[in-house]
Amino acid sequence: MYSSILTESRRHPGHLIDILQQIQSRDGYLSDQAMLRVAGFLEMSSATVWGVATFYNQFRFTPPARKPVRVCMGTACHLAGGQLVLEAMARELKIEVGGTGEDREFSLERVACVGCCALAPVVTIEGKVYPGMTPPGVEETLVEIKAQSEAEA
């Protein structure tokens, strides 16, 4: 199942990060099984693969939620009250920061900077940017999103 990614031209330790990125972009995360397979392919120890993968912020090791919620904690967002927004999200979603809900509908994480500092504080849900967030705004936005997904269902 990894044959399209683990090609001969990539059989070199220098391609490790590239390979992990390809797997994550296809599967959404890095499973233990995938990392063991990569270690075998590159003839590296699985500890080395695991060590590199966990070093970088990009890689995740649990399946992603359908609607990932990312609260920006860049400097501008922090100064504009991003922490309060993050706490409100955790409270409303009933998910710890860094966690995923049991139904895999939402996950919540803090990210370093999404690069639209003029709109701070910012939240992205499923990649869509929600600017100028406030704790009451969090509740409203989530109600809207839930209503929308119910309507679609």
Partner 1 sequence: MKHSMIRALSQKKVNAPYPDKITHILVGTATCGRAAGSMAVLEAFRREIEDIKEKVRAWEVGCMGLCSQEPLVVIIKPGDFSVCYHHVTPQTVPQLVEGYVRGDDPCLELALGTVAGGNGDAVYIPELDLFKYQSRVLLRNCGYISPLEIDHYAAGGGYRGLAKALKLEPAQVIKQVEKSGLRGLGGAGYPAAAKWTACAQAGGSTKYVICNADEGDPGAFMDRVLLESDPHSVLEGMIIAAYAVGASKGYVYIREEYPLAIDRISVALKQARAKGLLGRRILGSDFSFMVEIVRGAGAFVSGEETAMIAAMEGRRSWPEHRPPYPAHSGLRGRPTLVNNVKTLAGVSVILQKGWRSFRDMGTQNSRGTALFALAGKLENTGLAEVPMGTSLRTLVYDIGGGIKHGRQFKAVQIGGPSGGCLPGDLLDTQIDFDSLKCAGAIMGSGGVIVMDEDNCMVDTAKYFVDFSRQESCGKCTFCRIGTYHMHSVLEDITRGNGSSESIEVLGKLAEDVRAGSLCGLGRMSPNPVLTTLRYFREEYEAHILEQRCPARICKELTAYYILPEKCYKGCDHCVLACPVEAVFSDDKGLKVVDQLKCTKCGSCELVCPAEYNAVIRLSPVSLVPAGRRTRPDTKEP
Tell me the one-letter amino acid at 51: G
Interaction of residue 27 with partner 1, rule CB under 8 A: no
Task: Provide the minimum distance between the beta carbon of 122 and partner 1 in the complex, in angstroms, as a whole number.
Answer: 7
Is beta strand 128-130 parallel, antiparallel or unpaired with respect to 123-125?
antiparallel
Q: Which is nearer to partner 1, 29 or 153 (CB)?
A: 29
Stated length of the chain: 153
Largest CA distance in the chain: 53
CA separation for the pair 76, 147 (Å, rounded):
31
Among 50, 76, 101, 125, binds partner 1 (CB under 8 A): 76
Binding positions for partner 1, rule: CB under 8 A:
12-18, 20-21, 51-52, 55-59, 73-76, 78-79, 81, 84, 87-88, 91-92, 111-120, 122, 129, 131, 134-136, 139
